[in-house]
Each structure stands twice: as structure tokens, then as C-alpha cells.
Amino acid sequence: MLNKTLTSRQCELVISLLQEVLREGATLDRAYARAFADLHLPPAENAIIALTTGDLLRRLNLYCALAGVEVDRAAATGWSLLCVWHRFHNLPMPDCAAANQIDTRTYEARKQQARALPAVWDGCPAWLDALGETQLGEEAWAAERAALARTPKRYLRVNTLRCDRDTLIQRLADEGVQTRPVDGVTSALEVLNDAALFRTAAFQDGWFEQQDAGSQHIAAFLQVSPGMRVVDACAGAGGKTLQLAAAMNGKGRLLAMDVEEWKLENLRQRARRAGAHNVEARLITSSKTVKRLKETADRLLLDVPCSGLGVLKRNPDAKWRDTEQRLPVLMALQADILRRYCQMVKPGGQLVYATCSILPCENEQQVAAFLAERPDFTLVAEQHVLPSQTGFDGFYMARLRRAAIDDGQTAPVDTAVEQTTDNSTERAESNEA
């Protein structure tokens, strides 16, 4: 956390970001991109603004409670929120009129009241708290809720097509970036300072990508090898695609698919920088795009659209923008993707179903429902990456094997596959890496 008061300019930038997210509905990433694009701030100042804005959104209802305002008025009370934020973190007050309006006795009373309400203290909206407790149970959800309120760490993935981990550590150190290996994740480095990663020559040369250490488990879980035919069917901007390319040592065919062309163009640029020459990006234009690939993939990755409740500490704006009404829509989409896209797997091949959610209804329950419909698939293994246990973002993954022809099983006819011609559903299937 910070150890000094924000300047007036920094406060104004934070307030502007809060207003764009809370009032205009922009994602935090988009708000950052627009704000920082024209300012050309030093990396340390970028980090200060991002850290403060992220923390305010992670525990928004706590800071609103301390300021005595309703959450739906947060966008209009930015200076008050910043003042109680400074007080909460034991920093001198910024130079503004709102600082003189904070009564110490009132603040301390509000703080004690908030401390007695765990969901408020952890910055969790009431609808999400109820959902999490129902899905995970009181004790498990309390641990995850607290973990999701913490500031996320920065991680890199070493691009082994260009270098090894130790060489990257040294090169980054030469460029002023301090890193250290991550226990249990051989491809990951934790970034220890506020260096501007994307301005380094190491990044420009394709030696690394920024990717959470928990996310790096998913591509590894697919168990690809050089020479395979692999499909990443919800590729987004290609973070996991590039990790798969490195695991394949650039050999074999790796098809990255998505319904958004701009994401695929981003992926193509990243692949060129990374030296991932076996990557082909293909736009999903209709159900026929998938049907043409029937029984062609040795491995299939389905990193499906989801609630994103495992990555809330990194995307805290989502919990103030989303509602519980969105979850059934996402679950229907997940089941549809799994049902239709599984046809791309060869007999004897494997797929991984993955989400960045920690909710059973999006994870193991979806897999169980699919397996009940498709006896030609079996569950090989599943893995949970929980923020409370790892400190990483939260993920779920399940590896399923399709029966080989000599196993004596035949896939049932899936009429849903044959009847799906509407592109509107597919347009919603984009998943960012």
C-alpha cells in the first residue's frame, strides 16, 4: 500500500476513473487505457493511480460506509471517498475541502460498525455475498471473499520459445524490473516493483507475457505436446494460446478461434512478437465454422465466458456492474458451447473445460450435466485454483477424454449442433485471455 498522500492531480485522476466506471459503465481496463494514453505519466505515478482506484473499487461499500454515503452515490462523492481512504490507510489527508468534513468520532464509530459486517468489510455487494454463501458454504465463501478483497500481485509468463526463466530474470533486472520465481508454477515470475513492463526491450522482443500465475495452470492442464493438432476455441486475445504454442515448441497446428475479429488481430500481433509461428487465428462466423472442424483436434481448450468471480481482485469493477440475473444467461451459454464445440475432439482426444469462476454451478456442475448427456466422454481430472489457498486469481479446469473408436462407444446424435444457425449466441462467446 502507499506510504504518502496523493497529490491533487492524482486525486482528480482517481475520481475521473471512478466516475467513468461507476457512472458510465466502462470496464476498469478501458478506463485506464483511455486515461493513461494521453498523459504519459511516469510508471510510478501510473502505479499509484491504478493501486488507489483498484482498492477503492475492491472495497467500495466499505469506504462508502466510512464516508456515510450510499454505494449508488459513490461516483458523485469521490473526494469524500478519497479522504476516508487516506484515513483508513493512516495517510495524511489530501488538500481538499472534504478533508475538513470528517469527524474523527463519527469515522471511528462507522469503522466499528463496518468491522462487524464481514461482507461490507470485504467490499462485497449483498447479492454476491448471498450467492457465494449458497454456492460454497459460509466458511469457504468467507475465506474466498476475504482473499478477493486483497490487492493482486503482478505475474509474468516466461516465453520459452524465446528464452528460459533464469535468462529472463537477469535481463529484466538489467532493465530495472525485479522479479522472482513462483513456487509450483515453473513458467511464472512475480514482479516485485512498479516497473513499466511493456516499455522493456524484453517485452518488445517477445520474451514474456503478463499473465496471472493461476491462469498459467490452464494451458499446462491441457497436456499438449509438439506435433499435435490443438484448438483454443474461446481464445480472446490469446494469452493461453501463446502458452500452448510454447508448450508445443512451435510444432504442430494450433488453431485459435473467437467471435471477435479485433481480439484475433491482437492475438496475431502477439504471436508474431512471441515467435509462435504455428498459430492460426480464425474468426467464428457461424455454426458451420465449428462443424467443419468435426473430429479434427487432439486437444481442445474451452476457456468459456463466465461470471469472472475468481478474478474480482483484478477486475473489481465487475461486482458493481454485474447482477445475479446475468449468471443464468452465462450458464446457458457455457452449456451450449460445451455441447456444440466438443464435436471438434477426435475419438481418443481430450478437451479442457475452464472458467475464471469459483462457483460450482459454472464449474463441476456444468461438467456433470455434460457427462450425463455424453457417455462417450469421461472425466480424467479436475483442478481448482482458489485465491484463499494460492494468492492467485481463481480458476477451475476439468480434462475430459473422448472415447476412442476401439472403446466401443458411439457419440449420440446432437440435434442442438445441427439446428444451431443463429449467430447471435456465438457473438456473445468472446472470452478475453
Set 163, 306, 356, 361: catalytic member: 356
Alpha-carbon distance of 377 to 356, in angstroms, equals 23
295 contacts 343 by C-beta, under 8 angstroms: yes
Q: Where are the beta strands (DSSP E) in 225-376?
A: 229-232, 253-258, 279-283, 297-303, 345-355
* Alpha carbon separation from 86 to 28, 56, 146, 319, 328 (Å, rounded): 21, 11, 21, 23, 39
356 is catalytic: yes
**DSSP code of 404?**
P
**DSSP code of 95?**
S
Question: Taking the CB of residue 70, how many other CB atoms lie within 10 A of it?
Answer: 11
Residue type present at position 90: N
What share of residues in the chain are helix, strand, coil (percent, to 5)? 50, 15, 35
Helix (H) or strand (E) holding 181: strand 179-182
Q: Return the closest-CA partner of residue 315 out of 7, 21, 111, 96.
A: 21
User: Bridge partners of 297?
Assistant: 345
Alpha-carbon distance of 18 to 14, in angstroms, equals 6
Alpha-carbon distance of 252 to 154, in angstroms, equals 31
Q: Would you give the distance in Å from CA 186 to the centre of its chain?
A: 20
Angle (deg, nearest 10), helices 261-274 and 239-247: 40
User: Bridge partners of 368?
Assistant: none
Residue type present at position 88: F
User: Bridge partners of 1?
Assistant: none
Task: Name the residues annotated as catalytic.
Answer: 356
